[in-house]
Amino acid sequence: MKFGILSDIHGNLEALEVVLKEIKKEDCNEIIFLGDIVGYGANPNECIELLRQERIVGVAGNHDYAVLNKTSIENFNPYAKEAILWTKEVLTKESLWYLDAFLLINKSYPFHIVHSSPDDPTDWYYLFTIEDIIPQFNFFSYPVCLVGHTHIPFVVAKKKDGKIEVIKKNKFELNPDWQYIINVGSVGQPRDQNPKASFAIYDTKTNIFEIRRIDYDIKTAAEKIIRANLPPILAERLFYGQ
């Protein structure tokens, strides 16, 4: 079986369309989404509709929950807050219904799937450092835990003897005796100084996991943000992957 895996679209239709096209080339059996369809970008309804059409399964992110009033925006930065308030105004009832169906944890596949962290998905905890990541291995039993939220791809493995290894290759074979926490990066808001959209392909037959990057029409996505009167910084950062 082959999986396409994506996270943190954030209303970026141009990035999502390119990523989905690339995933379809791989003849993936399923596409898994790790949260945050909306926020920041100018096409939340269109992105939701694409996920609905493709019958993509996944989990909710903090921005998704924010527009549903299921989580507070008190700790959001001012630009994120403004984008959430704008998104609330433009989302259709159908889009809200679709978002409302997403849960915080999904265990339907050979992964533990969560947007932020497996220990407490409602806390929206960020896994930035190895010190943040290591304790999280205690909170899932699956071989692989897939996360999003930071917009920065990483792969950390826990070996059978308990030793931790940071895997720096974009393409690697999963060891069946190890556990992994994997962040596939962001489709629509990369923040690792690489503006290319990020996603992953996992083939269960070969056990090969690959995080990929792909160019998309950043200029159009940015112009849409400006035309929507969203904070200009949300457009500018797309060009720099920050």
34-76 residue pLDDT tens: 999 999 999 999 999 999 999 998 899 999 999 999 999 999 9
What is Dmax (Cα atoms) for the chain? 54
For residue 231, name the pLDDT band (cuts at 50, 70, 90).
very high
Please measure the distance between the N-terminal and C-terminal CA atoms of the chain and give it in whole angstroms: 34
Task: Count structural domains, the chain.
Answer: 1
pLDDT at position 210 over 80: yes
Report which DSSP code applies to 174: P
- Predicted local distance difference test score (pLDDT) of residue 110: 83
Percent of the chain whose pLDDT exceeds 90: 95
For residue 142, name the pLDDT band (cuts at 50, 70, 90).
very high
Angle in degrees, CA 35, 38, 41, rounded to 5: 130
- Predicted local distance difference test score (pLDDT) of residue 240: 96
Angle in degrees, CA 97, 64, 204, rounded to 5: 95
Q: What distance in Å separates the CA atoms of residue 61 and residue 121, rounded to the nearest whole number?
A: 9
pTM of the model: 0.96
CB-based contacts of 18, cutoff 8 Å, min separation 6: 197, 214, 215, 216, 217
Q: What distance in Å separates the CA atoms of residue 184 and residue 147, rounded to the nearest whole number?
A: 7
Q: Which domain holds residue 52?
A: 2-239
Q: What is the mean pLDDT of residues 106-134?
A: 93
Compute the mean pLDDT over every residue in the chain, rounded to the nearest whole number.
96
CATH number of the domain within which 222 lies: 3.60.21.10
Evaluate the CA torsion angle 137, 140, 145, 146 in order and state its sign: negative
Tokens of 146: 């897939």
161-206 residue pLDDT tens: 999 999 999 999 999 999 999 999 999 999 999 999 999 999 999 9
pLDDT at position 224 over 80: yes
